[in-house]
Amino acid sequence: MRFYGTELSSRLMLGTAQYDSPAILADAVRAANAGVVTVSLRREAAGAQAGQAFWSLIRDLGVPVLPNTAGCHGVREAVTTAQMAREVFGTDWIKLEVIGQGDLLQPDVFGLVEATRILTDDGFKVFPYTTEDLVVAERLLRAGAEVLMPWGAPIGSGRGLNNIFGLRALRAHYPDIPMVIDAGIGRPSHASAAFELGFDAVLINTAVAKAGDPVLMAKAFRLACEAGLAGRDADPMEERDMAVPSTPTLGLARGLGGEMI
């Protein structure tokens, strides 16, 4: 798996918010074998001393960092946050969030396209958090994005993949664009389904951080991602409307009237 030319060790990306302790976070990242961790600038800057301790923890994990503009509701705010994140984390990668609706935390796709263009022109490698809309995807790619992060469901909802038809259409329309299912995944089976649909990676935070056992859940997601990817590569059978017997009927014993016994 490559994003902007960088090869990742795993297709599972893990958020770092909401964990009960730094130790649990570190253990979960290791159990997930995460290829990337996402970090909010607000979390890093929550306090000078606390922020430095958190950043030291992330560095010690040895996992590539994807800063994000979580909580930004406008283009200027998102761009400024991205520029600050580049200075703090020393990377030109940015997960771009421009939130347009508060209840569902739905992306403002108009602001998202504008911010993507501005940041791309400024040298950023943008990972836009978007919807499954084909037109929006086209605008984001024209604006310079080389990766798309469509939502599965609203952030933190745990509902899984809400619009299978739309996600399948997006994947089919842009088969060569790296795509990450971001937001809404609540169970390992949801992650497996994302890979079976053809997506390249998944980003998970709340489903691991708020599980009863985050470390065990992180391991479960790792295994589910591996299973979904292997299942896709194995070329699964097509669905059928009618039953097809798995046991051959040729050679079965039959009664005098010709019925099978």
Nearest to 148 by CA among 165, 123, 173: 173
Helix runs in the chain, H state only: 22-32, 41-44, 48-61, 75-89, 109-121, 134-142, 164-173, 188-196, 206-209, 214-233
CA distance 131 to 101: 13
CB-CB contact of 204 with 15 (8 Å): yes
DSSP string across 216-231: HHHHHHHHHHHHHHHH
At 42 the pLDDT is 64
Tokens standing for residue 100:
């347009």
Sequence-separated (6 or more) residues with CB below 8 Å from residue 142:
none
At 128 the pLDDT is 97
Domains within the chain, CATH numbers bracketed: 12-234 (3.20.20.70)
The one catalytic residue in 95, 125, 210, 219 is: 95
At 46 the pLDDT is 46
Average pLDDT per 10 consecutive residues for the chain, totaling 261 residues: 90 93 93 93 54 78 91 93 91 93 86 97 96 96 97 91 95 96 94 95 95 96 95 86 75 60 56
Nearest to 124 by CA among 68, 97, 86: 86
Is 125 considered catalytic here? no
Q: Give pTM, 2 decimals.
A: 0.86
At 247 the pLDDT is 72
